[in-house]
Structures are given as structure tokens and as C-alpha cells.
């Protein structure tokens, strides 16, 4: 079976390329018209036309029309709509308004909260009037303004006075959570990785490991302009003065893994299972808001980055959903999370099953290591050049090299004159019987001449384009070209058609493996470190029929299962407390 081929666009992270090469994949050579990619990975969205005209065995890392939750303004609009329809189960998103369209509504809410805060402060002052000194009251009417479609903390600021609100683009204003759960005084949030393999029916996997992102200055509501105190974006905090310091409990840097966080909470008798259940619920409900708008396609998937904040009452709040989350490595925690995450992702899609078949049907020597080939592709290249009646042919020592078609070598002719020979078009590769040729080898940038005496049949590629005529004269450096017989055109066409047909058959086999895996994966609840969180029962599975979604039935099931699990957790906690009391007496 042929090697899996991938294409990467838009400066996608090297982690994707290196991982696929290490798994034995081959990067697409776009100059080779015969190659097709089995996976196309982009940072930006695809055109709908790209997906509609895709071949059956091609996968894309984005769904069409799936941006209803990854822009802050559309996320706000959709979650506010769902909350108005289905009630408090959607109360995991802070009060948020879109600007400029909802400016009047925001001002009304701002004024209402300010009046309420003022009354609370008066009551507290009356209760504390016996004290000599009163502690300053924290203002809870704080808001955070974010540009609608910017990322990495750009353009974000916190304000408590309407006169401080300025914006020159579409933005959202969100009630600022003033009571976050702190670790040694530092604010943090969670970067959760979520994979959707289908929107019809909705199929959601959550990666059990993730990143805990810390601010690098201690949380302080009296200093709202300190981004290192209030923002947790790594792109900001890695430039902070305390980034490299060994901070109490947190340590140097600004990231933990989920495992570190759960261990920290467990040591303080905090039940992380309740938090995890609530997080999974908000992920499902958020994705549910856009499921009806995504067309039915079978060859797409999406990797989301959910940003979640936990407050001091252990309630998770959704802050935003990231499209094409960063997959670069800034620290050890990134390596521990992101590389296994990507490996398991390709297994979810079924490519691991294809790779097993490929490894069985290819000799180890022929298969080679894609990553090593990528690293050493320019170290050793051999080019055999022959001519007959001004028809030039070039041999290709390794037809699987992803960059062979881009190879451009220069041969010195007649005292410094140069002829450029471009190797293109692998459609007409053939074996010629019992031929001997002279070859010009270029090894590590140095040219040397040798005469081939091997009877091994070379691969010959006619190059009909991009050739310039040259005067063939012998020089002291090179002896070029031995004559070969012309290849009949009908033989060329016949072999080309056979090769194309064989390639199509191989790709059809790949597609059948992927389809079979998709069918089997429906009954698998965990693949690698990914856990399937939706659908979670027959009712939620049957809620999707064609393009229609029974959102009400899904919400009802989520409410039911949350009540059951939370009540069970409460009983377990009560038993734990009782056992502790019994031990004391």
C-alpha cells in the first residue's frame, strides 16, 4: 500500500510536520501532479469549494462554516440566545455584550450592578461601624474588554468606569470574574483540547491532559493595568519580569499540566471529578450551539482550544474558544501535553490503522524513516542525464523523496556556461532494460564524476518541459550523456494509466480502512488519552437526524446526568466526612 501523504499550509507548526514524518508519512510534492494528500492541515479555514471537491480519502482539519463559537462576538450571541431559551444550564458564560450593537444594554447592566454594589457597601459599613479601621471593599463591577477576533491577549484591558471604555473595532465587554481560584496568590486558567470528528451526529472527544496557564504576578484588583497579574496568556507572561523566578508552589515559568493541578487539589481535599464533569458539560453545550449550522461532511475534523477559569466556589467559567490552538513548544509542559495529544488525534481519525497496513505491506528498507529522509533529503542526490535526438531524461534515485521534483541542479558546460535541468513530471517513470549510463553525482554540494557499471535498471523520467538547449561538448570536469533508445509513446501512456489506476486502488483501500475504523470507533469510549464525552447515551445519539438536532432532549439529558452524578458526589463527600468524624472519636 502507498505511503500516506500530507500537506501543510499557512505556516502550520513544525510539530505537525515532524510528527507525521516520524510516523512514516510523506509530505506532498505539489509539483507532482500524480500525488494527492490524504491530510491537509491549515491554520486558516478552507474554502468550501476545497472540501466539496475533495477526493473520498482526503481529510481536512477544519469543518466548513464552523466559526460560530471561535469568534468572541458570535460566541456571545449564540450562548446568550441559548441561555434565553434553555435557562440556567447555560450559566457558565459570564455576562457579556457585543459592541457597538449592544452598548445601550451594557450601560444599563453596568448601572444596575453599580447601584447594587453601592447598597452592599453601605450595609457592610453599617455592620463594621464599631471597627476603628474599615478594610477597603473590592469593587465587583469590573469589566474586561476584548477585541472580537484577536488572540494571544492582544487589545485586552480591564475597566471600572464607563469613561475608560474605548474601542475602535468590534469588541465584547464581559463581566470580570473577581473571585478566581488562586494558587499561592496566582490566577490561572485551563487550556482544554477538544476534538470534534462529526457534527451530524455530534461526536466530541476531550483530551484528559491539558495546560494550566498562570499569571506571573500575584492577583491584585487594586492594580487593574498589570497584565501579568490579570491575564494568563503565555504570549504575554513569558515576557514578564517574574516568568523565570521560582514562584511559591507554582515554580518557574507559567504552565502546569492538568495532572499537576489535580494532584494539588487532591492534596487539599478538593474533588476534581465534580469540576471535570462541569467542564465536560459546558463543552458539549457550547458545541451544541453551532451543530445545526455545520453542513454534513465526512472528511473533516476540528481541534479546539477551550479556555476555562475556575472560581473560588469551584465553578468553571468558559472564557473563549480558540480556533487552531497554538501547538508550539515553550516549555516542558507543552511537550508533555501536545505531542501525545497530536499522536492520539491521528489515531482517533483512523490513520493509525492505515499505518499498520502500510508497515505490513512495505519492506522496511523501502519504507524508510520519513523524518530522517526529511532531515537528510539534500545530503545525497544522484542525477543521470542522457540524450537522444535532443530528448533529455533524468533518473530519480528515490521516487518517494518529497522534494525531488523541486530539485534543480546546474551542470557546467564549456568553460563556465551553465545549463539548468529541472526534474519534473513523474507521470512517465519507466524501467529501461540493460542500460549503462554515465552519471553526475552531487553529494553535499560537491560535484564528482564516476562511471556506472551496475546493471541495475534505473528509473527514467522524460522531462518535456523547462529544458534549455545546450551545446554538448566534453570538458575536463564532466563527461555527459550516453545515448538511449527512444521510448514509444504508446508504452508511456500504457504504463502511466496502469500506475494511475494502481494508485487509485491504493487510495480506495485507505478510504475503506478509515470508514471501517469510523464505524468501530462509535463503540469505543477512549482512544489514547482522549475520552468521548458525546454522545453519552442512546437518547443523545438519536437526537441527531439528518440536519435537525433535538437540542431540548440533549439539554434534558445533561441536566439529568449532572444531577445524578453531583448528588452521588455529595453522598460520597458526606460519607467521607462521617468516616473522618468517626476516626476522631
Look over the chain and give the mean of its residue pLDDT values, rounded to a whole number: 77
How many helices (H) and strands (E) the chain has is answered by 15, 27
Q: What is the pTM of this model?
A: 0.73
CA–CA dist 354, 511 (Å, integer): 9
Assigned C-alpha cell, 351: 490513520
**Which of 77-81, 304-308, 493-497 has the weakest average pLDDT?**
493-497
For 483, other C-beta atoms within 10 Å of its C-beta total: 10
Query: What's the whole-number mean pLDDT along residues 127-146?
Result: 62
For residue range 515-559, list pLDDT tens digits in order. Answer: 888 778 888 999 999 999 999 999 999 999 877 899 999 999 999
Asked if the model's pLDDT at residue 455 lies above 50, the reply is no
For 296, other C-beta atoms within 10 Å of its C-beta total: 10
**Which of 127-131, 238-242, 259-263, 472-476 has the weakest average pLDDT?**
472-476
Residue 533: alpha-carbon gap to chain centroid: 19
Cα-based angle 418, 424, 428 (whole degrees, multiple of 5)? 130
Q: Which of 105, 98, 96, 91 is nearest to 73 (CA)?
A: 98
For residue range 550-561, list pLDDT tens digits in order. Answer: 999 999 999 998
Cβ-in-10-Å burial (0-12, 13-18, 19+) of 246 comes to exposed
Question: What is the rounded (10 degree) CA torsion for 281, 283, 285, 291?
Answer: -140
Q: For the chain, give the number of residues.
A: 585
Amino acid at each position: 500500500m502507498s505511503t500516506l501523504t500530507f500537506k501543510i499550509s499557512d505556516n502550520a507548526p513544525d510539530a505537525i510536520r515532524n510528527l507525521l514524518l516520524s510516523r512514516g508519512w510523506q509530505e506532498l510534492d505539489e509539483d507532482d501532479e500524480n500525488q494527492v494528500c490524504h491530510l491537509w492541515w491549515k491554520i486558516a479555514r478552507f474554502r468550501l469549494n476545497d472540501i466539496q471537491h475533495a477526493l473520498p480519502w482526503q481529510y481536512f482539519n477544519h469543518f466548513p462554516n464552523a466559526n460560530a463559537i471561535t469568534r468572541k462576538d458570535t460566541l456571545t450571541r449564540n450562548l446568550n440566545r441559548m441561555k434565553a431559551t434553555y435557562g440556567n444550564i447555560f450559566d457558565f458564560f459570564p455576562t457579556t455584550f457585543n459592541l457597538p450593537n449592544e452598548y445601550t444594554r451594557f450601560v444599563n447592566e453596568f448601572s444596575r450592578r453599580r447601584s447594587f454594589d453601592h447598597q452592599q457597601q453601605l450595609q457592610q459599613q453599617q455592620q463594621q461601624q464599631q471597627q476603628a479601621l474599615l478594610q477597603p471593599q473590592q469593587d465587583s463591577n469590573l469589566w474586561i474588554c476584548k477585541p472580537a477576533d484577536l488572540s494571544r491577549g492582544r487589545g485586552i484591558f480591564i475597566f471600572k468606569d464607563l469613561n475608560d471604555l474605548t474601542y475602535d473595532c468590534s469588541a465584547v465587554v464581559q463581566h470580570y470574574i473577581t473571585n478566581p481560584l488562586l494558587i499561592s496568590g496566582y490566577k490561572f486558567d485551563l487550556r482544554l483540547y477538544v476534538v470534534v470528528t462529526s457534527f451530524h451526529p455530534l461526536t466530541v472527544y476531550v483530551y484528559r491532559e491539558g495546560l494550566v496557564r498562570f499569571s506571573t504576578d500575584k492577583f491584585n484588583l487594586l492594580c487593574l493595568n498589570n497584565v501579568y497579574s490579570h491575564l494568563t496568556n503565555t504570549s504575554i507572561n513569558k515576557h514578564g519580569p517574574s516568568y523565570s523566578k521560582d514562584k511559591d508552589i507554582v515554580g518557574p515559568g507559567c504552565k502546569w499540566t492538568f495532572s499537576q493541578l489535580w494532584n494539588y487539589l487532591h492534596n487539599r481535599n478538593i474533588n476534581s471529578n465534580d469540576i471535570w464533569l462541569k467542564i465536560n458539560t459546558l463543552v458539549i453545550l457550547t458545541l451544541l450551539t453551532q451543530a445545526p449550522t455545520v453542513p454534513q461532511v465526512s472528511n473533516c475534523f476540528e481541534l479546539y482550544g477551550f479556555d476555562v477559569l475556575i472560581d473560588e466556589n469551584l465553578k468553571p467559567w468558559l472564557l473563549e474558544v480558540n480556533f487552531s490552538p497554538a501547538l508550539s513548544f515553550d516549555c516542558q509542559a507543552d511537550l508533555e501535553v501536545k505531542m501525545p495529544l497530536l499522536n492520539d488525534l491521528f489515531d482517533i481519525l483512523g490513520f493509525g490503522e492505515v499505518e499498520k497496513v502500510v508497515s505490513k505491506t512495505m519492506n522496511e528498507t523501502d519504507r524508510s524513516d520519513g523524518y530522517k529522509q526529511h532531515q537528510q533529503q539534500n545530503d545525497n542526490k544522484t542525477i543521470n542525464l542522457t540524450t537522444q535526438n535532443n530528448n533529455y531524461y533524468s533518473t530519480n534515485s528515490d521516487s518517494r523523496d518529497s522534494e525531488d521534483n523541486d530539485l534543480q541542479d546546474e551542470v557546467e558546460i564549456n568553460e563556465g556556461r551553465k545549463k539548468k535541468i529541472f526534474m519534473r513530471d513523474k507521470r512517465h517513470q519507466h524501467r529501461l532494460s540493460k542500460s549503462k549510463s554515465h552519471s553526475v553525482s552531487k553529494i553535499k554540494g560537491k560535484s564528482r564524476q564516476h562511471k556506472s557499471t551496475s546493471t541495475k535498471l534505473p528509473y527514467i523520467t522524460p522531462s518535456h518541459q523547462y529544458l534549455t538547449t545546450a551545446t554538448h561538448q566534453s570538458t575536463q570536469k564532466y563527461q555527459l550523456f550516453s545515448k538511449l533508445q527512444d521510448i514509444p509513446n504508446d508504452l508511456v501512456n500504457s504504463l502511466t494509466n496502469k500506475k494511475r489506476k494502481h494508485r487509485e486502488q491504493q487510495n480506495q483501500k485507505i478510504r475503506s480502512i478509515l470508514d471501517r475504523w469510523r464505524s468501530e470507533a462509535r463503540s469505543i469510549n477512549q482512544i489514547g488519552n482522549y475520552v468521548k464525552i458525546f454522545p453519552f447515551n442512546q437518547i443523545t445519539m438519536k437526537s441527531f437526524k439528518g440536519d435537525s438536532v433535538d437540542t431540548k432532549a440533549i439539554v434534558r439529558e445533561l441536566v439529568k446526568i449532572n444531577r445524578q452524578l453531583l448528588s452521588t458526589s455529595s453522598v460520597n463527600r458526606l460519607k467521607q466526612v462521617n468516616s473522618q468524624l468517626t476516626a476522631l472519636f
